[in-house]
Each structure stands twice: as C-alpha cells, then as structure tokens.
Structure 1
Amino acid sequence: MTLKKARKFCLISAVVLLGYFSFLHMKIQESIHKPIADDAGYLIILGARVKGSVPSLSLQYRIDKAAEYLMANTHTVVIVSGGKGPGEDISEAKAMQQGLIEQGIEEGRIIMEDKSTTTYENIVFSKELLPDPTATGVIVSNDYHIYRAVEMAKKEGLDIKGVPAKTPKVALVKSYLREYLAITKYYLKEYIGW
C-alpha cells in the first residue's frame, strides 16, 4: 500500500469512526431526554464503584437521583443492585441502601440485590426480585449509561424507562468513550452473535 493510499484509508476510517460515535452519542442523548414515568411500580438503581465503604461520586449521584424520585413517588419500591468488588469493603447495594436511608427512604421499601457484577447481571438478578415484573418500572444510572441499560432491560421483558443521574465532570470523557465501546460490544452480541 502506498503512503497516499494509507493516508486515504486512515482518513476514511477516522470519518467512519467519528460518524459511528456520533450516532451512539445521539442515541444516548435521546434516551436521557425521554419523559420519566411517575408512580412506577419499582425503581432499580444500578451499582457503581464504592471506595472502601464510601460511594464514588458516580454512585452518589445515582443515589441522590433515586432518592429524589422515591420521595416524590411514595408507592415505588426500590431495588439496589450491585455486588462487592475489589477495593470495596461493602457491597454496592449496601452502600446504596445506607445512602437512601440517610435521605429519608424507609428501609422497608428497599430490596437488596448484592450479587451482580455487570449491568446485565444487575438487570437479570433484579428482575428475579421484582414484586410485579409486569409493572412499569424505572432504572437509575448516570446519563451516559441509560441507553444501554434500558435496552438490556427491555430485552429481558421489562417495561422500563430511564431516570438519568448526572455524570461527574472529571469522568465525563472517559465514561462516554468506555460506553461507546460497551454499546458496540452489546450490538455485536445481540445483533451479530459474537
């Protein structure tokens, strides 16, 4: 391949990649601007990193957004979903439970799912604990994550909508780039079978 052809190939590849990432970004933005259902039968909070026993900023934003929804929708039960990973002294579910109780959510409304380690497991394991899997639900995660989480939940037969929490500014670029790759992996698995 000549240098001229190599440059042309690199340029075309860059344009295609940029177009693809723009498409993914558009899908993410569409998902976080959809109307949020009131009085959902259940709410699932997806886990994120805990530093020792303290929620990371990403997880704290999820806890805060869920508490806000639960205070406004007092009949909604909540499933806190996330296991215990490396560097975590307690499970992500336990950290979320404690955070919600601190914000005035009654412990009796909180269902613990503390075995999952991935978004897919969050959804599948949480589904098993739902009081009524046919009810309309909502799922809370950081905004960049809502599109993929809702798509996965719908694939599992859940009638669910997203409630986006903000993403920490310091992690914005890294989070979106990682999510573009995670969505691509999801597409390859679901639609191509890789």
Structure 2
Amino acid sequence: MTSRNIKLALPYAEALLDITTKEGSLDKVINDLTSLSTTLSDSSDLKKALANPTLSSVTKKEIIKSVFKDTVSNTMIKFLMVLADRGRIAYLADVIEIALELAYKKASIQIAYVSSSLELTSSQEEALIERLQKMTGASQIKLKLSVDNSLLGGFIVQVGSKIIDNSVKGQLRQLSAYLGASVV
C-alpha cells in the first residue's frame, strides 16, 4: 500500500469503524471486515470491476449489493455505497486493511505476520499463538501467515516493531556476520 493510498484510505477507515461500532459489536465489525477482505482477495474480477473507471457508480453499487448483501451488515453496505458515490471504491481493499488494523487495536488483538518455509499445522499455529501471547502480553493474537520458500527452514515473525527471525537463512546470516563472511 502506497502512502497516497494510506492518506486516502485512513479517513474512510476511521469513519467506517466509528459508524459501525456505534451500531454493533466490535466482533461483528471485525467479522464483516474479514468477510469483505476475503471476498475481495478471492475474486480478482470483483477487484477489477470496482477499480474500473469506465463503470458508473450505479453499476458498481449494483455489484456491491449483489455480492455483499447476504454477508455483511446494512451499515457496511451503506458505507460501500458512499465509497462508490465518491469515486473511492477502488481503494476498498486499503480501507478494509486499515479498518481491520484499527479494529484489532481497539479490541486488543495483536497481529503477528508470520513467514515460514512450509505451511504451519494447526497445532504449530496454536503453540505460536500461546508463545506470542506470553511474549507480548496481548489478550489475543491474530496470525497472518505466508510461505516463503527462500527461508530454507524455520520462520520469521513480526509483531509490531519486533522481529523474531528463527529461520535457517537468518541463522546462516548471523553466523556469517560472526565469522566476517558474506552469505547469499
């Protein structure tokens, strides 16, 4: 996300969170935002349609209603209509991402970005969540998982500004720095 997108998306994300939390629980808002995010990430056609400048806002609003009417609250639908009317619906993914971060922060949920060499099993995820909760003191941890084949083995976790590099590549980098050599 570029700084321009953040500048455009932040006020809308803050307004969305303000409006939706007044009308419902924070958990419902997080569920709606997660549902929107999942739908957008699963459908490249939907993203393209919403970002298409040749489609009218009326057409985009019809698309929004048909896709999201059964999955999110009416308040969320109304907000999406406002974005379409103002020509900002193309920034929906950025608005959702920022709104989710703000909602997690408000709900005391810490986001941990995990890059691993292989997909983690559910028991590994649970163990990681427990350790991160102890380490950060957060009541809840939400994992954002990705697989990075360049790691060779292990994982890298970023929670806030703290980075835990438990990868083979990171250990090789540390060893080479200690020995004064360079690593690929």
TM bucket (normalised to shorter chain) is under 0.3
Bigger RCO of structures 1 and 2 (CA < 8 A, at least 6 apart)? 1
- Rg larger in 1 or in 2? 2
- Name the structure where helix makes up a greater proportion of residues: 2
TM-score between the two structures when normalised by the length of structure 1: 0.22
